[in-house]
């Protein structure tokens, strides 16, 4: 055998051994299944790194329009606490306690009641909702503040007045004296869908005019953060993953059209900064609360008068229900709107005015948009059959009357409150109603100035806001308003009514 034949034999033997080894491996090793995908089914696409920097988002997914439209309407709010209240502890953000509850960062040490407390400041956001300076924000941004200052996107600064607050929804209405302001339009939060793109606009960490983007993660979310003595708090938040941090409270949540669909209110995070969970009060509630606060100084809360819980599998099994949706009525209050309409214990509410109801939060949100005296169509399941009821909603006093703020009212473009006993004694008057805010209307046109105290109308003594309301309701035509100015001088105004 030649040397060449020897090496050829070695090569062929090695090659044959390799073929046998590979063949044996394939015979002994399970092969991956190949699944055919029909042409009309969507096929997955692999992602890759894009070196092309000209790549743009799909047409229609553009945040620029909404951002440019909304940013001028979002304001920076700074609340000052002068040391008279608990929240004025020097160096502490008064919003801390609100966030602390769901940040879980422990308990604060007890305060020394004798400790001298200096002024403290908190910051937040707000949204201009009218060209004459009305601003929507959160109650916790301005609650118990001694002074509220608003800075516009163009850096103009104004002192703001708190027109009204509603702790049950954590909303508040402010007013600054300016005209021709940019403002956001209310959108319809009812038609917002999970997965829809949204923008959050506000002032996180005291940084002005910040825009972040995300999607709607859930609707009608209850996270149990609101507390109110009345027990009427409403939580039906829009949940998003847009970045929201301290200072965003009171800011705008908008759709890609730039329409307001919510007021950013809360976050849930283990770190104290954004962790992908933010919550906004839906615009359906915001618009109603703002109207009420502007007109009455307080919210007109309509009630069904029922004790309720969401239906789940255990409840359905316990009461032999044929549905896993809706709100189960545990009890109906005597004399309530529900009782008057014929709704009973054990009924399951499944819709209100043709809007499907699946949870307690959804029911609360639907009823919260109405006022006492409004009628709603309520569909319930009773004995596994659907029944319709026309319900005339009532207030918490058990009637259909509108309720006014006991100490302040708004009439004819002016806002009033009763003078305190100290103010009356200082000015040597028996009482009266002070003008605390003026906008376009009869009083401003007549030359009335802020601070003027009405002591009589057509020679009828005015001691309270109720006296003023009765005087205006029982008179027409020309009316004579007499009173005193803050310096004690007397003035009178003839106003056509």
Tell me if residue 76 is catalytic.
no
Q: Which residue has the tokens 């118990």?
A: 144
Quick check: is 170 catalytic?
Answer: yes
Residue 367 in contact with residue 394, Cβ under 8 Å? no
Active-site residue among 170, 241, 259, 292? 170
Of 79, 125, 140, 408, catalytic? 140
CA 312 to CA 222: how far, in whole Å? Answer: 16
**Annotated catalytic residue 140:** yes
Active-site residue (options: 249, 310, 336, 410): 249
Q: Which residues participate in catalysis according to the annotation?
A: 140, 170, 249
């Amino acid at each position: 055998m030649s040397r060449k034949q020897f090496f050829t034999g070695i090569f062929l033997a090695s090659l044959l051994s390799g073929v046998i080894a590979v063949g044996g491996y394939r015979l002994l090793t399970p092969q991956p299944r190949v699944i055919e995908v029909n042409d009309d089914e969507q096929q997955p696409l692999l992602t890759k790194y894009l070196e092309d920097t000209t790549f743009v988002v799909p047409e229609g997914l553009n945040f620029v329009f909404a951002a440019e439209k909304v940013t001028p309407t979002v304001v920076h709010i700074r609340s000052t606490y002068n040391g008279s209240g608990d929240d004025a502890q020097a160096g502490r953000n008064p919003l801390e306690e609100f966030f602390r509850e769901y940040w879980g960062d422990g308990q604060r040490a007890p305060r020394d009641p004798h400790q001298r407390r200096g002024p403290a400041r908190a910051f937040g956001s707000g949204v201009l909702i009218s060209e004459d300076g009305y601003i929507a924000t959160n109650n916790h941004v301005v609650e118990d503040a001694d002074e509220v200052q608003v800075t516009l996107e163009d850096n103009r600064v104004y002192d703001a007045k708190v027109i009204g607050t509603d702790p049950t929804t954590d909303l508040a209405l402010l007013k600054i004296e300016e005209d021709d302001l940019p403002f956001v339009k209310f959108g319809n939060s009812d038609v917002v869908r999970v997965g829809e793109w949204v923008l959050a606009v506000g002032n996180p960490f005291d940084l002005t005019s910040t825009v972040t983007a995300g999607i709607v993660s859930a609707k009608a979310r209850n996270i149990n953060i609101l507390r109110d003595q009345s027990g009427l708090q409403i939580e039906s938040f829009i949940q998003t993953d847009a970045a929201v941090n301290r200072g965003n409270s009171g800011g705008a949540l908008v759709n890609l059209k730039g329409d307001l669909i919510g007021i950013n209110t809360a976050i849930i995070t283990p770190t104290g900064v954004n962790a992908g969970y933010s919550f906004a009060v839906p615009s359906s509630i915001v618009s109603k609360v703002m109207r009420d606060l502007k007109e009455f100084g307080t919210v007109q809360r309509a009630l069904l008068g029922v004790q309720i819980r969401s239906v789940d599998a255990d409840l359905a099994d316990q009461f032999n229900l044929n549905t896993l949706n809706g709100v189960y009525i545990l009890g109906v209050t005597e004399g309530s709107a529900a009782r008057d309409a014929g709704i009973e214990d054990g009924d399951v509410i499944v819709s209100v005015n043709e809007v499907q109801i699946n949870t307690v939060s959804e029911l609360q949100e639907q009823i919260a948009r109405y006022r006492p005296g409004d009628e709603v169509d309520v569909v319930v399941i009773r004995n596994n059959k659907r029944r319709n009821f026309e319900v005339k909603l009532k207030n918490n006093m058990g009637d259909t009357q509108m309720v006014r703020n006991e100490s302040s009212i708004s009439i004819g473009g002016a806002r009033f409150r009763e003078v305190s006993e100290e103010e009356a004694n200082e000015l040597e008057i028996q009482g009266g109603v002070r003008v605390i805010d003026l906008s376009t209307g009869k009083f401003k046109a007549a030359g009335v100035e802020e601070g003027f105290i009405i002591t009589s109308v057509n020679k009828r003594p005015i001691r309270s806001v109720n006296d003023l309301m009765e005087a205006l309701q029982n008179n027409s035509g020309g009316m004579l308003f007499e009173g005193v100015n803050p310096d004690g001088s007397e003035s009178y105004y003839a106003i056509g009514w």
